[in-house]
Amino acid sequence: MVTNSVEWLPIPGKEHLDLPLSMGAAHGSLLVMTQIPQQEDGTLNLGSAEEQTRQVMRNFQVELEKAGSSLSQVLTITIYVADVADAPAVAKVWGEFYPGRGPGRATLGVAFPTPGLKVEMTAFAIRG
């Protein structure tokens, strides 16, 4: 859906619902997208911080490609963790997806309203 030249990206599997939020948005070549460890069947992966990070990064791979981008076109990612002690586990998985120089990142400790949720990320990328 396009409104005022902003393209709102629906949440996968929930496109049919009239939700007051989106997975992300795009304007021209700029793409902003947030991912949680939602699995393909719509349930949350509430495993370890490593498992959740891996799920989030796989989600980015799929959804960025659908939006005309890729992990290699990510400029920066903000990582939200429920426990900052999980930052090394997140960094380990990050290295699986960005083995060399990757995009900038910031990691913040937050309180999630969903029990068991350990990781959420927002990426700024270019597309096209």
- Judged against a pLDDT cut of 80, whether residue 16 lies above it is answered with no
Beta bridge partners of 51: none
Residue 2 placed within a domain: no
Give the Å distances, CA to CA, from 17 to 20, 73, 91.
9, 30, 34
23 domain residue, yes or no: no
Residue 56 lies in a domain: yes
114 in a domain, yes or no?
yes
In a domain? residue 22: no
Number of domains in the chain: 1
Is 58 a member of any domain? yes
The whole domain housing 58 covers: 33-126
DSSP codes joined into one string, 86-113: GHHHHHHHHHHH-SSS--EEEEEE---S
pLDDT (0 to 100) of residue 72: 96
pLDDT above 90 for 50? yes
Provide the percentage of residues in the chain whose pLDDT is more than 90.
71
Interaxial angle between packed helices 49-66 and 87-97, expressed in degrees from 0 to 180 and rounded to the nearest 10? 40
> What is the pLDDT at residue 4?
64
- pTM of the predicted model as reported, rounded to 2 decimal places: 0.88
What is the rounded average pLDDT of the residues 38-53? Answer: 94
